[in-house]
Chain A
Amino acid sequence: MSLISRGFRGRRPADAQRQSLPPGQYETRDFPVLSAGPTPHTPLAKWDFTIRDVHGKLARWNWDELNALPRTRLTTDIHCVTKWSKFGTNWEGVSIDTLLVEAAKRGLNPAPHTMAVCDGGYTTNVPLADLTDGKGMVAFIYEGAPLPPEHGGPARLLVPHLYFWKSAKWVRELRLMERDQAGFWESLGYHIYGDPWREQRYTGDP
């Protein structure tokens, strides 16, 4: 056991809604920025979002096309593996369900797993079943305003029922896969699935 420093208490949640906090988390009121690389600044004129199936078939939307699709709004809590949780965040974007319907019209076939691929090279893997039925979206509005670059703007993946490293910033592509593959953090000690309610932070956590 490490040496205990007299009188040190650290940051404690003032009035944690403890029933809403996953195990090991504390509430924050701010929105910390965690990045694995420099903030990309892709001009909207060059931005697009792609779904790619296992046969290499693509469904692609440019910024205007994405914005023209039916929108979905979500108020949700988010949980970072570094132990902060933020309650009641407000998002707007296009649900993965909507995008998959559009993709199916263009002949794409689903697959059980996905890899989100982002500007700057970040990746994260999410089972398709964790993105459908309203569980995931491509989000581009946060608290009523365009998503700021440091928080993933122009658009990020939002999958709030999993640890927030799965809500990949600067997402550009969702690659459908037959088998699960580890993304950026999942290949470096973090849990392949990442359920905050079962505290699945690290590789090997049950």
Chain B
Amino acid sequence: MREGASVSDATRLDGNAAAGLLSEMFACDITTARATCVDCGSTDSIGAMHLYVHGMGAVLRCAGCECVVLRVARTPTHLWLDATGSRSIAIPTNPASPGGG
């Protein structure tokens, strides 16, 4: 049910702010990685996605349709990742490549 979902929200940050938490999982900075939203098919840098983060975890949503692309939670014993909202994630292996956005 997505009726009336507000597009802009004061509690939202940029995906870049999730970089620390995501780096624990991927062993590198993935904010320049590009993910394809399973819902609307658009591809964007993770750093540019809409991030909702608080003490429970981080939810990255597609900037185009607000559907959940990635979910991450940290518990004392595990890092949990749900990437089912992304069809694919492309992580650049050469971090010096320009134009990551």
State yes or no: do A and B touch (Cβ within 8 Å): yes
Cα distance A190–B73 when bound, in Å? 9
Which of A34, A43, A117 lies in contact with B55, CB distance below 8 A? A34
Query: Of the 9-residue stretches A11-19, A85-93, A118-126, which lies at the interface with chain B?
Result: A118-126
Query: Of the 9-residue stretches B15-23, B27-35, B76-84, B92-100, which lies at the interface with chain A?
Result: B76-84
Do B82 and A37 have beta carbons less than 8 Å apart? no
Nearest B residue to A184, CB-CB: B71
Do B3 and A119 have beta carbons less than 8 Å apart? yes
Instruction: Please tell me if A82 contacts chain B, counting CB pairs below 8 Å.
Output: yes
Cα distance A42–B4 when bound, in Å? 5
Do B61 and A37 have beta carbons less than 8 Å apart? yes
How many residue pairs, one in A and one in B, have C-beta atoms under 8 Å apart? Answer: 95
Give chain A residues whose Cβ lies under 8 Å from the Cβ of B6.
38-41
Do A189 and B1 have beta carbons less than 8 Å apart? no
Interface string of B22-64 (1 = CB under 8 A from A): 0000000000000000000000000000101011110101000
Do B80 and A188 have beta carbons less than 8 Å apart? yes
Do A188 and B1 have beta carbons less than 8 Å apart? no
Cα distance A106–B80 when bound, in Å? 41
Chain A: how many interface residues by the 8 Å CB criterion? 36
Do B66 and A37 have beta carbons less than 8 Å apart? yes
Do B73 and A37 have beta carbons less than 8 Å apart? no
Chain A, interface SS category: loop
Instruction: Given A120-B2, A121-B1, decide whether A37 and B56 contact each other with a Cβ distance below 8 A.
Output: no
Give chain A residues whose Cβ lies under 8 Å from the Cβ of B57.
185, 188-189
Give chain A residues whose Cβ lies under 8 Å from the Cβ of B82.
187-188
Instruction: Given A36-B52, A37-B66, decide whether A46 and B4 contact each other with a Cβ distance below 8 A.
Output: yes
Which 8 A-B residue pairs are closest in the complex by CB-CB distance? A82-B55, A189-B80, A42-B4, A202-B75, A34-B54, A38-B9, A188-B73, A189-B73
Q: A-side interface residues toward B, CB under 8 Å? A: 32-43, 46, 80-83, 117-121, 150, 165, 172-173, 184-185, 187-190, 201-204
Known: A37-B52, A82-B54. 5 other contacts (CB 8 A): A33-B11, A38-B50, A43-B4, A46-B4, A81-B56
19 residue pairs bridging A and B, Cβ less than 8 Å apart = A33-B11, A37-B5, A38-B5, A39-B11, A41-B4, A41-B5, A41-B6, A46-B3, A80-B55, A82-B55, A118-B1, A119-B1, A119-B3, A119-B4, A121-B1, A165-B56, A172-B1, A189-B75, A190-B75
